[in-house]
Amino acid sequence: MKMTRLLPFLFAVTAFAALPFMSEAGAAEKSQSPHMAPTMSPTMSPVERKAIEDIVRDYILKNPEVVILSIQTMQARDKQAAQEKAKASLVKFRPDLLNDPASPVGANLKGDVTIVEFYDYRCGYCKRVFPDVMKVLNEDKNIRYVFKEFPILGPESITASKAALAAWNTDKGKYQAFHTAMMNAKGGLPESRVMRIAAETGYDVRALKKAMSDPRVQAQIEKNYAIAQALDINGTPAFIIGDEIIRGAVDIGTLRQLVAKARGS
């Protein structure tokens, strides 16, 4: 935990541990103003401050579990707040997640359940889960699939994402073949290799490179970044299925269960 997150806790411990030391002064203040809580005097002398610091240090050393408990409580509170914020963002950005015309779409375009995936072509976990994703789509012909480019692993990832979006804008009919080839590609993805894969899947490389420079491509990637941040998605892969946000790779059984849950809600 960062020190800035720990400071409020240390201040609270300071106040708690220092109460006996301040009780006499607090009592005097309270007698003058019964509605005011005792406070630490801004004119505290160095001796008084040193005494309080010694009390705090002694208390923490004798009760280290208090520090651990406080940190765990703070982390749980932060996690709960992040989850609530992500759920609210899911409602806010649902139209952009499901029906953004700039995002590639596959499988059954009229499916009753939509899976949205945020991925990076250089992500090993994305490549590992890809066969299971495809198996679920082949098994269940009533799923709609939305592709969200989320290049977070460096310049090659950005180039690959731009090429994929350009491929979608250039010829949607060949996009799935290109996407599959990119997911199956092992190792690095420099532009020369990406263009070779594009050519092998039927794209005109010169036209594709021109389409990659279209400002709309970069704008789409930046939009995906913003949505991912709002949903507390910091890595790949990540899936949106119904009302669930799944961060990280999942097995085929979990994918099936999430689809069934989304279909039943």
Indicate whether this model's pTM tops 0.75: no
The yes-or-no verdict on residue 79 having pLDDT over 80 is no
When pLDDT is cut at 50, 70 and 90, the band that residue 34 belongs to is very low
When pLDDT is cut at 50, 70 and 90, the band that residue 26 belongs to is very low
pLDDT tens profile 43-53: 778 888 888 88
Q: Which CATH number fits domain 94-264: 3.40.30.10, 3.90.700.10, 3.40.50.300, 1.10.510.10?
A: 3.40.30.10
Task: Identify the residue whose tokens are 């590609």.
Answer: 185
Of 63-72, 123-132, 217-226, 232-241, least confident by mean pLDDT is 63-72
pLDDT tens profile 119-174: 999 999 999 999 999 999 999 999 999 999 999 999 999 999 999 999 999 999 99
> How far from 44 is each of 9, 16, 57, CA to CA, in Å?
21, 17, 18
Instruction: Give kind and range of the element (H or E) at residue 143.
Output: strand 143-149
| Residue 247: both structure tokens together | 């961060």
d(CA 118, CA 158): 14
The yes-or-no verdict on residue 4 having pLDDT over 70 is no
Rounded mean pLDDT, 20-28: 44
pLDDT tens profile 83-128: 777 677 789 999 999 999 999 999 999 999 999 999 999 999 999 9
Taking every pair of Cα atoms in the chain, the longest distance, rounded to a whole number of angstroms, is: 87
Rounded mean pLDDT, 221-242: 96
**Per-domain boundaries in the chain:** 3-62, 94-264
Instruction: Give kind and range of the element (H or E) at residue 183.
Output: helix 175-184
Query: Phi and psi dihedrals of 237, rounded to 5?
Result: -80, 165
